[in-house]
Amino acid sequence: MISLRLLGCNGGIGGSHRQTTCYLLGESTIIDSGTGLTILDLPELAVIDHVVLTHAHFDHIACLPLLIDSAAALRNEPIKVWGLSEVIEILETHIFNDLIWPDFTKIPTESAPFMVLGSISEHLEIAGMTFTPLPARHGIPACGYLVEKDGQSIAFSGDTEDCPLFWESVSLNGTVQAVIIECSYPSTMSELAKISMHMDVPTVASRINELPINVTAVIVHRKPGWESLIEAELRERLPNRELVFPEPGDELTFG
């Protein structure tokens, strides 16, 4: 069984929708570290062993520097941060560069640091789960993930425009229970979706329509102010599908 707690699944901040992307798998692994991470209290933060990143956009890494600073000194082991090699390079160059934030791969010492950065190429085994990067198209180094456990799996699109290779991977894999899909914009904002390399309602609806009926579609990353319209449009286009529009903090289990 895979347990998923959507600490953050909003596409921005504002009002009650202020928790950007951060998904807790089990108790000690998160995908992305947006402002959703602030839902956790300090003891919960201190047991996070692994942070697996889809990409380095700010809404997905905003709380990573703060996590290391707040929780690492309470632990005996470094916090391990994983991503595509290009994503890790971006963190080294632009975030943990001793200008924006300290280089915690050398603090307190190089031999026993607070943080370790690691690249994922094909597969990564974490806490009984296998993480496999999936293709994404977002204009910068980015990926989704397939997370497998006990013969079942869930797929995360990450931030992406329509990416045929992602959907191909999902449909070829017979173990997928759910797809966590970004849908940033309603149909009235297709132009902005295109420019920003995100998906809009028409794209997401047609892709969900092609999924086997037993695969649950979980819609995330709706941009602030457009949440209700996106939900209404998707429900209208997909009357026979079970769609999940989670709120931050919601827990889902699969398998």
Contact residues for Zn ion, defined by CB under 5 A: 57, 59, 159
> Looking at beta carbons only, is 5 or 55 nearer to Zn ion?
55
> Looking at beta carbons only, is 132 or 184 nearer to Zn ion?
184
Helix (H, G, I), strand (E, B) or coil at 239: coil
> Looking at beta carbons only, is 139 or 202 nearer to Zn ion?
139
Q: Could you report how far apart the first and last alpha carbons of the chain are, in Å?
A: 5
In the complex, what is the shortest distance from the CB of residue 140 to Zn ion, in angstroms, rounded to a whole number?
A: 7
In the complex, what is the shortest distance from the CB of residue 9 to Zn ion, in angstroms, rounded to a whole number?
A: 10
Q: Which residues pair with 50 in a beta bridge?
A: 29, 80
In the complex, what is the shortest distance from the CB of residue 109 to Zn ion, in angstroms, rounded to a whole number?
A: 34
CA dihedral over 135, 91, 199, 30, signed as positive or negative: positive
> Looking at beta carbons only, is 32 or 148 nearer to Zn ion?
32
Phi, psi (rounded to 5 degrees) for 221: 65, 30
**Residue 202, Cβ neighbours under 10 Å: how many?**
17
Angle of CA points 105, 25, 7, to nearest 5°: 90
In the complex, what is the shortest distance from the CB of residue 159 to Zn ion, in angstroms, rounded to a whole number?
A: 3
